[in-house]
Chain A
Amino acid sequence: MSKNTSTRSNLPNNPSTPARFDLSHSELKYTAKKLRRHVITMIAKAGSGHPGGSLSAADIVTTLYFKALHHDPKNPHWPDRDRFVLSKGHAAPILYAALAECSYFPVSELATLRKLGSRLQGHTDMRLTPGVEMSSGSLGQGLSFGIGIALAGKMDTRNYHVYVLLGDGECDEGQVWEAAMFAAHHNVDNLTAIVDHNMLQLDGRCCDIMGLEPLADKWKSFNWHVLEIDGHDISQILPALDKAKATKGKPTVIIANTIKGKGVSFMENNVDFHGKAPNAQETETALKELE
């Protein structure tokens, strides 16, 4: 695909007109792989972090930043930008990788993840990192935060859309359902929730830790518009994002069926790699698989 610099030049100069990366399907696939490689390299270098939930979200985050979102890396505080709220803040590495490849900050800075003095904190920090919309790390709060941004946008008659990425384990938190009830009651239709449904949380499989199913029916009964997709298939992610944005009168949730650790064979569906860095050997193997 074209280099980072040339995708940047796709952006209009005037930030008051919608600014958007506009990668092709094959470019998106290539970029997702590149971001996955960053995730592995960064976490290995840091010696700690959460690879599993970063890799499961890679295709969603790539499609958002390199296709769906209106944003301008030169102007991270552009008031009309679409917002991406990473509620599952432990997946910060995939967000940092996307932001770096969009030129919010140099790609070389990814090597500072989790280090003393770095702008790239273990969990997201909206005051430190350009492009990060929410400080998180305590799960269950991002949907409420996103609703706040969406409501403020409506008050100011701004046209931006808010996307919130939640973990499936995170949906155990009561606050998620307080927010779900609220968003439907208040017709917060300029917000889309995406659940990274990778079937694993920290202690094990969601079905063993806290049964979530029927997850789609739960959201439906909370009066949400519900879409279910394969969260690794860009040809399903894009139309779902379009449909979500076009749906008026109620919020949409996209339940993205994913695989935790996707792209690295020994991390896939392996709860041990929820929050563990790969060692040198594992890093080498992982990077080879992601070539």
Chain B
Amino acid sequence: MAAEKSTREAFGEALVELGKENPNVVALDADLSRSTMTKLFARQFPDRFIQCGLGEQNMISIAAGMAATGKIPFASTFAVFASCRCFDQLRICISQPNLNAKIAGTHGGITVGEDGASHHAIEDLALFCSLTAFTVVVPADAIETKQAIKAAGNTDGPFYLRLGRPAVPVLYTEDYRFQLGKAVTMRDGKDATVIANGIMVSRAIEAAKQLATQGIDCRVLNMHTLKPLDEDAIIQAASQTGVIITAEEHLLHGGLGSRVAQVVVSEKPVPMAFIGIKDVYTKSGKPEELLQQRGLTAEAIASAVMATIAKKQSK
């Protein structure tokens, strides 16, 4: 069994390390530090932790003010509240003036599970990608999260980092080197490419393994940086494999699938398929049950790959 760890936990630890390296790093939270794991930073640096109470919009604008004054604020709350509740504050106070503020949204996607529709962040990535100044990162595991947090802290400009609640498989080893805006080839292949991010990366790898037993050689890309996209990797995949499938824990609109499709259609049109949540609010249930219900599984990816390869061949 591979080791498992949640990306929010890795975020909490990485923030402490970043705090040690750079005294300008500060953390803000809105009455969720026990869940977002900024409590670790609060314990280590009580004077650089700002408890905002249950006031997310206020928190975002405060973070912006601190960024305007030379601090490197990491503001954290659940992904739903960070995106939906604070959108105007993000747009006016952070994105338009292009300030050096970092937003960490934990409990992203539907793997929040039992809390239900109000807590399922399925549109956060679309919203953050629409904020023109933002860099948007969706790490796949704990090791990538740590490095992404460091990269965000050390790169000027606004960032959104989407993190998850449950423990997820660790895919990388410590010698992994995260590069902002550069997709990672998790597995090479020539028949099709699955482009995934977040929790869907491990599922895409699993799908590729299943397909290999049927003689299908599937490439898997981890598109951890959703914005800016690694267009070269996408065009190369389209040219070399002729089939692209995207897989994301998000609505099909405005996230990975939409963004990759724009590149494919304009640069190298090939048959595509999209794994994600179809225009629906998901309800309470166990994380794995919800993923099964919405077809966010290795099996669903594998059959989408087969069906799309068939389209390529019939062309």
User: Which A residues are closer than 8 A to B by beta carbons?
Assistant: 46-49, 89, 114-118, 120-123, 125, 128, 135-140, 169-170, 172-174, 201-203, 208-210
Q: How far is the CA of A8 from the CA of B25 in the complex (A)?
A: 60
8 A-B residue pairs with Cβ-Cβ distance under 8 Å, sorted by A, are A48-B113, A115-B284, A115-B285, A123-B115, A169-B54, A202-B54, A210-B54, A210-B55
Please name all residues of chain B whose beta carbon is closer than 8 Å to the beta carbon of A117 when the two chains form the complex: 283, 285
Q: How far is the CB of A91 from chain B (nearest CB, A)?
A: 13
Please report the total number of B residues contacting A with Cβ < 8 Å. 32
8 A-B pairs closest in CB distance: A137-B118, A210-B53, A116-B285, A172-B54, A122-B116, A172-B53, A114-B114, A121-B116
Q: Are B54 and A173 in contact (CB under 8 A)?
A: yes
Chain A nearest CB from B259 CB (Å) reads 27
A122-B116, A139-B54 are known contacts; what are 20 more A-B pairs with Cβ within 8 Å? A46-B114, A48-B115, A49-B114, A114-B116, A115-B284, A115-B285, A116-B284, A116-B285, A117-B285, A118-B284, A137-B115, A137-B118, A138-B80, A169-B53, A173-B55, A174-B55, A174-B57, A202-B35, A203-B33, A208-B51
- The answer to whether residues A135 and B290 also contact, given A202-B34, A203-B31, A210-B54 and a CB cut-off of 8 A, is no
Majority-rule SS of A interface residues? loop
CA distance A21 to B58 in the complex (A): 43
Q: CA A123 – CA B115 in complex, angstroms?
A: 6
Contact of B117 among A137, A173, A174, A202 (CB under 8 A): A137
- Contact digits for B1-35, partner A, Cβ 8 Å, 1 yes 0 no: 00000000000000000000000000001011111
- Cβ 8 A contact of A121, one of B51, B58, B284: B284
B58 touches A174 (CB 8 A): yes
Q: B284 contacts which of A122, A172, A173 (Cβ < 8 Å)?
A: A122
Q: Chain A contacts of B54 at CB under 8 A?
A: 139-140, 169-170, 172-173, 201-202, 210
Q: Given A170-B54, A202-B35, check contact A123 B119 (CB 8 Å).
A: yes
Interface residues of B (CB under 8 A from A): 29, 31-35, 39, 51-55, 57-58, 80-81, 84-85, 113-119, 283-286, 289-290, 293
Given A174-B58, A203-B51, A209-B53, CB of A125 within 8 Å of CB of B31: no
Residues in A whose Cβ lies below 8 Å from that of B286: 116
Contact at B31–A209, with CB atoms within 8 Å? yes
Chain B residues near A174 (CB-CB < 8 A): 55, 57-58
Q: Contact partner of B32 among A49, A114, A202, CB < 8 A? A: A202
Whole-angstrom CA separation of A46 from B31 in the bound complex: 24
Which residue of A has the minimal Cβ distance to B114? Answer: A114
